[in-house]
Amino acid sequence: MQLSEEIKKLLEAECTFSASRSSGPGGQNVNKVNTRVELRFSVENSQLLSDKEKSILFNKLKNRINSEGELILASEAERSQLRNRVKVTVLFFELIEKALTPKKKRIRTSPTLSSRLKRLDIKKQMAEKKARRQPPKF
C-alpha cells in the first residue's frame, strides 16, 4: 500500500522523536552532541489507522513493538541529528508501507512440456550412468 504525502505528514505528526548520545562515528563530536534519533509511534493510540490496519501492524512488526504498543525505531548511522531523523522517518514509512501491502497470492501453474521432457532426459542420463557402474554380464 503506497502512502500519500498527506498521510505521511499526519503519521509523522503522531510520532515522537527523542535524541541521545550516539555510539557511532564522529570523534569527539560523539561525546558532546546528541545525534542518535529514536522514533516512537503508538500503534494502539493512532487516530489515522483502522483497527484492521493496527492488527496487521501488530502481527507483522511484533518484534519491533514493545509491551505498551509502541513501534520503536532508532538511527545513529549519520553524524548529524537531522540526517538521522530523516533516515529513521524514511525507515518508518517503508516499514508501514511494506506491512500494509497485501501479499500477492501465488497462481499455481503446471510444468511446461519442455520442462517435463528435460526432466525425463536427465532421469535417463542418470539411469545410464548408474547402469554403466554395474559389472559386465557374461
User: Which three cell numbers mark 135?
Assistant: 559389472
Count Cβ atoms within 10 A of the Cβ of residue 100 and give its class: 0-12 exposed, 13-18 middle, 19 or more buried. Answer: middle
Average pLDDT in the chain: 90
pLDDT, tens digit, 9 for 90 and up, residues 83-105:
999 999 999 999 999 999 998 99
Predicted local confidence at residue 126, as pLDDT = 97
Residue ranges making up the domain that contains 31: 5-100
Is the pTM of the predicted complex or chain greater than 0.85? no
- Where residue 85 sits, what CATH number does that domain have? 3.30.160.20
Q: Is residue 32 part of a domain?
A: yes
Q: What is the pLDDT of residues 21-38, one digit of tens each?
A: 877 666 677 677 888 899
pLDDT at residue 25, as a whole number: 63
Determine the longest span between alpha carbons in the chain, in angstroms: 90
Inside any domain, residue 116: no
Tally of CB atoms within 10 A around 69: 15
What pLDDT is attached to residue 131?
Answer: 92
Do the Cβ atoms of 1 and 101 come closer than 8 Å? yes
